Amino acid sequence: VGNALAEHRTHMPSAEAVLGAADSARLEQCIAAIEDVNSGDGRWVALEHLRCFCDGASVELLEAIGGRRFATLRVLLGLLREAEGEAACQGEPSRVPVGLVLQLLEALLCTATHNLRPFLKLDGGVKHLARCLRAIDTLAHSLEPDAATLWLVDRACGILSHLALHQPEVAEPLVSADGVPFVTRILQCAREHYKRACVQRAAGDAASPDAAEQATDDPWDSLTRHTAELAATLSAGSQAAQRDLALNGAMRAILDLLRLLTAERVGPTMALGSLLLVEQLLLSASATVWCLPRAQTMLLDSGSLDALARPLVASFERLSAADEPPASGDVAIYQATLLLLLSSQLENRPVQVELWATAERLGRGALAARLRSLSHMFYQMFDLCEHINLNHFHADEVAKGLRLLTHLLASEEEAPYLFIHMNGALDLLLRCLSNIDEEVLYAACCALFCLISRSPPARLLFLRKRGIGQLLDCVHDYNTAIVTTSLQILCLLAAENSAAREEMRREDVLLGVLRIVERFPAEDVTLAVLDAALEAVCHIVLDSPSNQEYVRTNGGMQPVVAALAHCAATQSKAEQDQGHNVRWDLTAPEGGGYAAASSGRVLPRPATAPGGSAARDPRRACEAFSRGQGSMQAVAPNTSASGLEPRPSDALKATEAACSALGNLVYRHSDNQRAALDSGVANLCLQLLRTPDACAHVAALSLLVNLADTNSRAQELLCTPESADAFFSLLTRSSDSRVLCYLCLLLSHAVWNHPAGQRLFGDRLTLQQLLSFLAAPRLPCAKAEAVPGAAAEGGREALVLYALMALVNLTYNNPEVQHLVRELSGIPLVQQQLSSAAYDVRRSASFCLGNLVKDNDGNACVLVSSGGLERLLLCLNDEDEDELSKTAYSTICQLGEPGLAKLLELVGDSLRALRPAARAGTTLPRRTVAPPPLGMPQQWWGTHVRPPPPLLREDEDSPIEDELIEDGLNGMCVYDAQEITVAREPPAPPPGRMGDPLYTAALEQLERCLPVLNGMVYEFEDLRLAMAQRGGLATLLELLPHAPPHVEEEALHVLLNSLYGQPEASKLATLRLGAVGVLQKSAAAAAPAGEPAVQSMCYAVLCGLVDNCPRAAEEFLTSSAALQALLSSCSGAAIGSIGSGDAAREGEVQERATDLLLALCQDGTVRSALLVSDVATRCLERVASASRNTLHAGKARQALAEHRGCRT
């Protein structure tokens, strides 16, 4: 590889590189306009433009806007100074939009922390922010404080808190600017607010749901939390501020707030906002009483110990008795309360005695014993920190203290939380990372590893204190143990925090790790160091396109590929020397859910883990999947996950780490995929597949999956006879479930949209093996828990999922594979997976069945005859975003005529259950088997598939349009059949059918079948023809009198889409079924029953029958009652008006009735017979003159004119 990284160095991107030249110029103009005091209101317009620059901007962009290139921070600070001056001179609110200025400062400082130091260098930055807190005086005596002022103070307090947390030196200028009295004043105002809130709740004002919601979303929660955080940071950074807060009323206000809030809100169901507030108040009190006896004694004088001990006892009892993992609220309140109590009794004997007595009285001994144990540990950690500080010049004493501290941090679950909130404890560890002594440095790394591996808050604080930059020196150390432990710390930090990954790139940590990989092999870069470095690369580039790009452009991929080649060769040689007798199992004892991967027929998704969760050891955090984010749990560095199983060889570990790193580098990154293929990574992976080690197989296959993801070149390399032989050998001989899952996943990616790959892998033997995974009652390996999928079945669902994914892409547009799957009896096996407990398995099975039956009537008949359509119907629901429901519906539509026949059979069965004979309890008639569809072999047609007897064949026609259309010949206006699923609650069963399971089952079956039928006849012309041939229209017409209204409406939708636009011959055949009479009776029954939707749909179907069919119009006019009802429906003060609720439904009835009336007027003979009636003529005249629908009015005028013998 040479010295590929020698010339590369990271630099902060320039403003032009982030913004572009044009945007940079616009930003400069915007800032200049804001600064121009003579531009009037144009300044505030420019300020709004600046907000547009910052809204939704990335961290890099915000750093560029607030950096030295632009005067953004200086100008915003000038606006604060201007607002303060105007208020002092005029005694009235300033014209400066202070809220907007604070919003911009919040974005530039709190999101982009690199802007903090430039801001602090500005003259008076902290002072002017602190003076924004003066607005709290306007809220002091207000019962209903101004929300805008409250928001302004909250923003200013939040910015100051963020500044003080990241830059402790802020404490001194904030104290100098009289910020502490304002902090105290805010806490006192918050106390008064919560007192009033408690009184209101006691008076019953919060009994309503609205009041409860307001209490949960109280804006004072955010302000009080930010103020408490600021008070805690000031107490930790300045002894003067701590003393002022303790003695001038802030501590008293905090204790009062704790009594109010813990009495009202603490519990297992506490809202998140309240939980954060109470925890922050406890932390603020802990920082204030730290080593300050007068503040500690205040807990005794105010009686707060008893009030604090009660929620501690409650949380302790719940945590002790809980069988399941405790709620985060209980843990947070317990730990924060524990910290306050232990801090208050530190070196204070009276408080300690009272604390033990209170614990004995409230906790019945168990809590007191626990408190004594934790107090002893707390004192030990405190003494060790003091000992290290006092003996910092004695390296042996410091190293010894750090080792003891590591032991304490691992001894109790509460230890990490208590340690990081000790004043200066984490800073002490960071200072030790800069020690030149080797023993001290290694002991500090071990202590830090133990701390952050067990405490997520410690990771956040470590990042806020810029600890990553200090780790860089440890990464460059010559001691391999120090380097390895430092790299493991980087893995922990990068695994869970995307901001940490970005910071590692910008602080040159990623570059330093790549240089370690590049120097391998060397005396100080052993296989163990290489393994840790590759794991670090794997985590740092995780889900970070910028880091992926950075590695490639800086020549970092070549060293990783070279390391993989070296480790693979070393491993092969070692296995040859050992006779291939050693097998290692690196699977974590804990299982996790597998993630969904590609099962689609259009776009695949990249690899996801057959082995979902990561192992306990952070070195194996990426072992299961190249991009999995496992939970990091504490173990000592360089130890086994369980402590019992042997460690694998260093070459094997490094090989897996190299594959994981390359897998994350190429994940969804086409340029990196191309670079990896150019470097020969695919051949190295195939070489690893020829080794006997299953862990090497898993690592190589996971890398190949990410290489082949939507990459045609990688697919070409994988779809060769040599690769196929290697894959099939593993597929048939491997006894490791992880290998089988990854093989199936790789197979699905290799053949995606690749006909040559489908032909190569779509052979009988491969399909047999894949189908065997669907039929296997258990995994073909001894350790099934290696693939966590469904715990009850030992992970079988995971293997089934990936086998289905392979079948999905093999069967897509592949008639040969479709035929082979049917010959191998695979369709029932795939269909069975529709009943799986795993959602992803059901979805993949639905996709696979859709591919199998597409343009394949033989497979469709097999699926229908084996009960597949019923299973697919159970997968449907009304959720628009449900992928399973959408794929199941698509698969049913692909079934074509066999599926339609089965749906009609199910509708017929339900109809027989709804008939009066069935209501009376008589036996259903015995069914006979109909012949198979035309051109279909008898053996494909199951004995329990009975389509209705065929009727007169109808011609095809196109689907109805989705909007109003105008017929060119007759000017007829028609409507689409609105929604497939009727959004209406089903009515109660009729009398005598309450609780009847036969009736209920029939209704449920109709509710599933009819919407699907409607969609099928709407989308496919051939199915509309088949609907008439197989007696579907007769079945639907027979259903109308017996169905409840919501089912009747669905059936009418199907009729509308089946009949509209058909030629006259087809409509005549429908007339012979008595369609007009049935629809007239349904409309007549719906009107008095208050079912306007049914009445409207009846008129719509009749309109479709009458259109271009005079015989149907004549038959309609034979019923004077039906004509009278129609004319009555057409009448109204405002025909066609659209309202809401019942008015809208009535308006729809009028619209559809008017359509039918105009359709009856198309034929001259029928029109003449109709308009003989004066009522019909007046109705038509009313439509012509008063209708708001201009189309209706024009057609009515035309009909009247033709009737009178004059055309317009």
Kindly report, residue by residue over 425-442, the tens digit of the pLDDT: 998 999 999 888 999 999
What residue type is assigned to position 385 of the chain? C
Beta carbons of 794 and 785 less than 8 angstroms apart:
yes
Helix (H) or strand (E) run with residue 1199 in it:
helix 1190-1203
CB atoms < 10 A from the CB of 685, how many? Answer: 28
- Give the pLDDT confidence score for residue 322 in this predicted structure: 58
C-alpha 1170/C-alpha 49 separation (Å) is 68
C-alpha 1158/C-alpha 651 separation (Å) is 85
C-alpha 1013/C-alpha 1020 separation (Å) is 11
**Residues in contact with 913: Cβ distance below 8 Å, sequence separation at least 6, in sequence order:** 924, 998, 999, 1001, 1002
Closest C-alpha to 822, from 870, 775, 767, 780: 767
Residues of the chain with pLDDT under 50: 1-16, 88-90, 206-216, 265-270, 579-647, 778-794, 917-986, 1133-1141, 1206-1208
- Give the pLDDT confidence score for residue 176 in this predicted structure: 84
Helix (H) or strand (E) run with residue 973 in it:
strand 973-974
Kindly report, residue by residue over 758-805, the tens digit of the pLDDT: 999 999 999 999 999 998 654 443 333 333 333 333 357 889 999 999
Beta carbons of 547 and 540 less than 8 angstroms apart:
yes
**Residues in contact with 813: Cβ distance below 8 Å, sequence separation at least 6, in sequence order:** 851, 854
C-alpha 954/C-alpha 19 separation (Å) is 65
**Residues in contact with 244: Cβ distance below 8 Å, sequence separation at least 6, in sequence order:** 175, 180, 181, 184, 250
Residues in the chain: 1208
Closest C-alpha to 532, from 547, 550, 544, 517: 517
Beta carbons of 622 and 664 less than 8 angstroms apart:
yes
- Upstream peptide bond of 997 is cis (omega within 30 degrees of 0): no
**Residues in contact with 939: Cβ distance below 8 Å, sequence separation at least 6, in sequence order:** none
CB atoms < 10 A from the CB of 1103, how many? Answer: 25
Beta carbons of 1027 and 951 less than 8 angstroms apart:
no
C-alpha 594/C-alpha 596 separation (Å) is 7
Closest C-alpha to 1040, from 1001, 1004, 1076: 1076
C-alpha 576/C-alpha 649 separation (Å) is 14
302 exposure class (CB count in 10 Å sphere: 0-12, 13-18, 19+): middle
Closest C-alpha to 1067, from 1101, 1038, 1109: 1109
C-alpha 533/C-alpha 470 separation (Å) is 17
Token pair, residue 159, equals: 């910015």
- Give the pLDDT confidence score for residue 112 in this predicted structure: 83
- Give the pLDDT confidence score for residue 82 in this predicted structure: 84
Beta carbons of 798 and 594 less than 8 angstroms apart:
yes
Using DSSP's 3-state secondary structure scheme, residue 1180 falls into helix
Token pair, residue 719, equals: 């779809």
CB atoms < 10 A from the CB of 543, how many? Answer: 13
Give exposure, 765-803, as e/b (b: 16+ Cβ within 10 Å).
ebbebbbebbeeeebebeebbbbbbbeebbbbbbbbbbb
**Distance, CA of 140 to chain centre:** 43
- Give the pLDDT confidence score for residue 680 in this predicted structure: 93
Using DSSP's 3-state secondary structure scheme, residue 205 falls into coil
**Residues in contact with 1133: Cβ distance below 8 Å, sequence separation at least 6, in sequence order:** none
Quote the crossing angle between the two packed helices 670-678 and 650-666, to the nearest 10°: 140
Q: C-alpha distances in angstroms, 93 versus 90, 159, 656, 853, 1164?
A: 8, 22, 65, 73, 79
